Amino acid sequence: MSYKVDVTGISPSTSQTELSDFFSFCGKIASIDYAEKSGKATVNFEKASAAKTALMLNGGTLDGSTLTVTSDAPVQDEPHHDDPSAPPEQHDKPRAAIAAEYLAKGYQLSDQVLQRAIEIDHNKGISQKFLSYVQDLDKTAGARALGPEQTISAKLQETFDQAKTNAKNLDEEKGYSKTFWDVRTISSLVASVAVIHAVHLSQYLSQALASPFGQKVKSFYTTTSKQVVDIHEEARRIAAEQKKTEQGAASGAPAEAPVPPPTALA
């Protein structure tokens, strides 16, 4: 069984591969029926939740053309499957996270589309399966690197906040925080990163949680309290990590933590 959405307004320059790439962010595609001359397509997804994410994209832009994404019948999300034993798939992600991936890839989504993603997450909630996945990444890496009951995101946030406080105190005392801000921040974070590198953080979210703003990243993926600006911020972070990975590949240096394709979390 598949779940279909109808797409119109497709640019004449858009190939079926490009159309497939665009909608693959929603989840696994079973098939696409694309009439290029008419600018119309039917996209069939394996999961209802993927089709509902596609409907969220109504008004999104591909190759300069605004897409209209509709369905003949109401599409409802499947009930949450909370078994955390298997890694979540693309369709399990919060819609705001998927929207951030679109923006990071360079696709254009209006703030109305982003707000729609936020509202779906708020109304549907985030599955226990996905929550467990993110929390386990943070706790497992933290326990191995820092000890029991420790998380990577909390440790790095603590280090960053302490460095910021130290810099502020120095500024108040001697008025040269700029120099000491750089030195203290870098030295503190390098110490923490050295610990993190002892752990094999190969997944994208692991790398994100191991950033100075790890707690903020964790909150983005595990809570439904978001704003449009949060999606834009997450998109910039994803794009920056992708750029760093690409530059490392171009220079021949091994990437610290490869970013997986949008259709895979593990």
Q: What is the pLDDT of residue 259?
A: 39
Please tell me the predicted confidence (pLDDT) of residue 149: 53
Query: What residues make up the domain containing 43?
Result: 1-71
Number of domains in the chain: 1
Q: Pick from 23, 58, 61, 65: which is nearest to 44 by CA?
A: 23
In a domain, 117, yes or no: no
CA 114 to CA 111: how far, in whole Å? 5
d(CA 7, CA 15): 14
Residue 40 within any structural domain of the chain: yes
Q: Could you read off the pLDDT of 79-110 as tens digits, one per residue?
A: 765 565 667 888 889 999 999 999 999 999 99
- Tell me the average pLDDT across 127-143: 75
Looking at the domain assignment, is residue 86 inside a domain?
no
Q: What is the mean pLDDT of residues 120-136?
A: 87
What mean pLDDT is predicted for residues 240-263? 63
User: CATH code at 6?
Assistant: 3.30.70.330
CA neighbor of 263 nearest in space, from 14, 80, 13, 45: 45
Task: pLDDT band for 196, please (50, 70, 90 cuts).
Answer: very low
Overall pTM surpassing 0.85 (yes/no): no
For 44-95, what is the HEC assignment?
A: EECCHHHHHHHHHCCCCEECCEECEEECCCCCCCCCCCCCCCCCCCHHHCCH
Give the pLDDT confidence score for residue 138 in this predicted structure. Answer: 72
Distance CA 118, CA 109 (A): 13
What is the number of residues in the chain? 266
| 3-class secondary structure per residue, 67-78 | CEEECCCCCCCC
Cα separation, 264 vs 266, in Å, equals 6
Backbone angles phi, psi at 256, to 5 degrees: -70, -40
Per-residue model confidence (pLDDT) at position 207: 74
E strands, the chain, in order: 3-8, 29-35, 40-45, 61-62, 65-66, 68-70
| Average model confidence (pLDDT) across the chain | 76
3-state secondary structure of 237: helix
Task: Find, among 79, 209, 192, the residue nearest to 133 by Cα.
Answer: 209
Q: What is the structure's pLDDT at 141?
A: 54
Greater model confidence, 214 or 24: 24
pLDDT above 90 covers a percentage of the chain that reads 45
Higher pLDDT pick, 194 / 233: 233
Q: Which residue has the higher pLDDT, 78 or 157?
A: 78
131: tokens are 């929550």
pLDDT value at residue 178: 43
247 token code pair = 């530059």
Residue 231 lies in a domain: no
Report the side by side order of strands in the sheet with 40-45.
29-35, 40-45, 3-8, 68-70
Alpha-carbon separation of residue 57 from 71, 107, 140 (angstroms): 12, 11, 35
Q: Which of 1-15, 96-110, 202-216, 232-246 has the lowest mean pLDDT?
A: 202-216
- What is the dihedral sign for C-alpha 106, 109, 114, 116? negative
Q: Is residue 121 part of a domain?
A: no
pLDDT at 83: 61
**Overall average pLDDT of the 49-69 stretch:** 95
Within a domain: residue 250? no
The more confidently predicted of residues 265 and 143 is 143
Q: Would residue 90 count as lying in a domain?
A: no
Q: What pLDDT shows up at residue 73?
A: 85
* 226 vs 81, more confident: 226
Is 137 a residue whose pLDDT tops 60? yes
| pLDDT at residue 265 is higher than 90 | no
Specify if 43 maps to a domain. yes
